[in-house]
Amino acid sequence: MAQVNSSMMMACLIGLVATQLSFALPARGNILSKRQSGKVLCQGKAPIKIDLLNPGGGWTVSRMLEVSGSISDKSCDPITVNINGDRYLLRTIDGQFKRKFPIAAGKNSVIVSATGQSGTVSESRTVYGKVPPVAMTAILTSDTDGVYTDLHIYEPDPSLTNAQANSTPPQKHVYWADTESPSGGKFYLNEQGGSFDQPGYGPYLYTHTSPPIGIYRIDANYWPSGDKAHTLGTLNLVLFGGTASEVRKVIRQPLVAPGETVTLAWIKIGKNQTASVYIPGSEPKPRNTNVWPQFVIDAPDRVKSDSSNGNADY
């Protein structure tokens, strides 16, 4: 009898604790609903129709591919754009969307989609690029509206010898205020509806057709607005795309503190289209200097920026 009473008492105690916790803790779904999680539902009840004007399919000789069109449900903001398996969120303005993306040599698959009350609707195109391969492409997006997740690229000095470039911290800063580097790196401003200074999902783009040998650093500088607490930054990195040496990385890092700069990736470009990528915070720190110099090993993953230009003390 004593064992039965003990079991009943324990069951009652567990039930009481569970009841208290149910009142103390909000439901997980409520927590997630307060943020943009990347899966954005349109509010309209009518079936969604996407009119994808560009690209039209076929061939192109342009390095940049325009994705533009309209969506019948104007509450769909953002929509999802998938290019060659890489997913981006693209803002709509009064049901219209438009953005240029770097194109790969050869076959390119473009899918534009949105999810509403009646399910997911998509339109797709296939475009063949008659363009030389792009040696380096970096595209940064976030999953939250109303925040700045600025992309910053640091390149090696092209005047250095190969040995110097592999042992010297990158100094050439390419970002929204200085969009081209002496060696040919190019930053594309985040234009949205004619404005170049709107917070949101991105994308922030950088390309280099012939990156010099040496060490590169890719940072995200985070500035939220209003009640936005944090976001998830996603970097789609492609090196030597469309070649036998192609390297693809999808890097996701939470961005939390206002003004912080997070290093998303270190890149080492070598001879004959060789590349190494180190992802701080997701991979163990290098243990020796066989591949990565000491300044990469010692560098912090996150630092407080001194201003909105993203400069961080490394």
CATH number for the domain whose boundaries are 132-307: 2.60.60
Phi, psi of 272 (to 5 degrees): 55, 45
Give the integer Cα–Cα distance in Å for 50 and 272: 43
- Taking the model in full, what pTM does it have? 0.80
What are the 10-residue block averages of pLDDT along the chain, 314 residues in total? 42 38 31 41 90 95 94 94 91 92 92 92 96 92 87 95 92 95 92 71 92 97 80 94 91 92 96 94 91 95 73 58
pLDDT value at residue 26? 31
Query: Residue 111 corresponds to which tokens in the numbers above?
Result: 């899918």
Give the integer Cα–Cα distance in Å for 21 and 87: 38
pLDDT value at residue 45? 86
Residues 6+ apart with CB under 8 A from 177: 309
pLDDT value at residue 201? 86
Contact 206, 174 (CB under 8 A): yes
Give the integer Cα–Cα distance in Å for 114 and 123: 10
- Alpha helical stretches, state H, the chain: 2-24, 28-33, 162-165, 294-298
Give the integer Cα–Cα distance in Å for 33 and 39: 10
Beta strands 58-60 and 119-129, pairing class: parallel
pLDDT value at residue 39? 55
**pLDDT, tens only, 150-176:** 999 999 999 999 889 999 999 999 999
Residues 6+ apart with CB under 8 A from 308: 148, 150, 221, 223, 259
Q: What CATH superfamily classification does 36-131 receive? A: Immunoglobulins (2.60.40.10)
pLDDT value at residue 314? 55
pLDDT value at residue 18? 37
pLDDT value at residue 27? 32
Instruction: State the span(s) of the chain assigned CATH 2.60.40.10.
Output: 36-131
pLDDT value at residue 306? 62
Strand order in the sheet with 58-60: 58-60, 119-129, 106-116, 79-83, 86-90
Number of C-beta neighbours around residue 132 at 10 A: 11
Identify any residues that bridge with 26 across adjacent strands, giving them in sequence order.
none
Helix (H, G, I), strand (E, B) or coil at 122: strand
Contact 282, 292 (CB under 8 A): no
Instruction: State the span(s) of the chain assigned CATH 2.60.60.
Output: 132-307
